[in-house]
């Protein structure tokens, strides 16, 4: 019996990347699959693999920053059979090892689902398109929709599913979410394609759609600062606000192409969780900005800070304003 450890971000990109991979390289009933994931901001996931678990395992890591996991990657490489790492976040600490294979591209027009799709030569491309939409890369997804000859209805279904699965990943803990990401992956991987998920009245899609629409209505009614330079939205300390924060940022960025978007979510720890979206017409710098602050990081087009001290909010907003003006 072989042992497979699949480590993946709990958002749309992570889940749909693993679905693509496992549909092309399924794990047999005689083998053991171990899933390691969490909420979207839980990215130091390789730390959850101890030496005994890593022993003689084939490990796959998808859609979490290499820089946030490099020390644990080095540690488990001394015990595992192999480690495949695919991602699109900052990887300044990348290194080589005989048991390590990496596919990393940090361009703002790339997501992990797209990298996996390229590696698999379109074998499960519909799941990749849903991942691309879920990561807020609408223009990139549209190119694939045209290339594949999909209908407008199919396009809208893939986009909505990507948004909803991505929405499910946001929260301070799994208790904030409608589905544990590991459970959501296991439910979705049983469908042949994303359209079956949308059309099944018993699928996770239906519950996520209801929750998303309710949370978006509350976000629209929240305090907002909109000026010539940027958009700042202040959300309360509540599960609905934590769930909608990143997806709402994607939505505002898509409809305000020239402006950065800052979503500020109050939390019970006396700080703010920050989601930053770079302007769509200048999709760079989000990770550079957020990395200047403790607990910050991300990628060029979208980044965040897990716990920004409240008295640093004005400073952060001014850093964003200065960077993009």
Element of type H or E holding 316 = helix 313-324
Terminal-to-terminal C-alpha distance of the chain: 57
Q: How far apart are CA 198 and CA 258, in angstroms?
A: 32
Q: Please report the pLDDT score of residue 319 as a whole number.
A: 97
From the CB of residue 187, how many other CB atoms can be counted at a distance below 10 Å? 15
SS3 category, 277: strand
Q: Render each residue's pLDDT in the chain as its tens digit; 325 residues.
A: 899 999 999 999 999 999 999 999 999 989 999 999 999 989 999 999 999 999 999 999 999 999 999 999 999 999 999 999 999 998 999 999 999 999 999 999 999 999 999 999 999 999 999 999 999 999 999 999 999 999 999 999 999 999 999 999 999 899 999 999 999 999 999 999 999 999 999 999 999 999 999 999 999 999 998 898 999 999 999 999 999 999 999 999 999 999 999 999 998 778 999 999 999 999 999 999 999 999 999 889 999 999 999 999 999 999 999 999 9
Q: Which two tokens stand for residue 221?
A: 């009614």
Question: Cα Rg for the chain, rounded, in angstroms?
Answer: 19
Give the whole-angstrom CA distance, residue 303 versus residue 260.
11
What pLDDT is attached to residue 268? 76
Structure token pair of residue 286: 């989000």
For the entire predicted model, the pTM comes to: 0.90
12 and 181 Cβ atoms separated by less than 8 Å: no
Q: Which residue has the tokens 């049983």?
A: 190
Structure tokens at 4: 């497979």
pLDDT of residue 154: 98
What pLDDT is attached to residue 269? 79
């Amino acid at each position: 019996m072989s042992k497979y450890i699949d480590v993946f971000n709990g958002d749309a990109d992570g889940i749909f990347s693993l679905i693509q991979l496992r549909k092309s390289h399924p794990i047999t009933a005689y083998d053991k699959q171990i899933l390691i994931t969490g909420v979207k901001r839980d990215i130091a996931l390789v730390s959850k693999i101890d030496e005994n678990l890593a022993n003689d395992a084939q490990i796959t890591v998808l859609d979490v920053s290499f820089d946030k996991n490099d020390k644990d990657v080095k540690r488990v490489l001394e015990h595992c059979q192999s480690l495949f790492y695919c991602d699109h976040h900052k990887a300044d600490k990348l290194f080589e090892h005989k048991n390590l294979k990496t596919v990393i591209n940090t361009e703002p027009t790339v997501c992990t689902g797209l990298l996996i799709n390229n590696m698999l030569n379109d074998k499960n491309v519909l799941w990749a398109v849903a991942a691309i939409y879920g990561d807020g890369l609408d223009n990139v997804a549209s190119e694939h929709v045209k290339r594949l000859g999909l209908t407008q209805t199919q396009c809208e279904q893939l986009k909505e599913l990507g948004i909803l699965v991505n929405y499910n990943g946001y929260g301070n803990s799994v208790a904030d979410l409608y589905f544990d990401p590991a459970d959501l992956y296991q439910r979705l991987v049983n469908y042949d394609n994303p359209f079956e998920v949308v059309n099944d009245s018993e699928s996770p899609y239906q519950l996520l759609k209801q929750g998303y629409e309710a949370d978006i209505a509350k976000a629209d009614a929240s305090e907002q600062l909109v000026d010539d330079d940027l958009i700042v939205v202040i959300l309360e300390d509540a599960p609905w606000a934590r769930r909608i924060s990143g997806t709402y940022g994607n939505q505002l960025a898509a409809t305000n192409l020239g402006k950065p978007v800052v979503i500020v979510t109050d939390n019970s720890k006396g700080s703010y969780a920050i989601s930053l979206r770079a302007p769509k017409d200048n999709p760079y710098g989000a990770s550079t900005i957020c990395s200047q602050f403790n607990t910050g990081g991300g990628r060029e087009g979208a980044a965040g800070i897990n716990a920004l001290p409240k008295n640093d909010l004005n400073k952060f907003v001014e850093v964003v304003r200065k960077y993009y003006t």
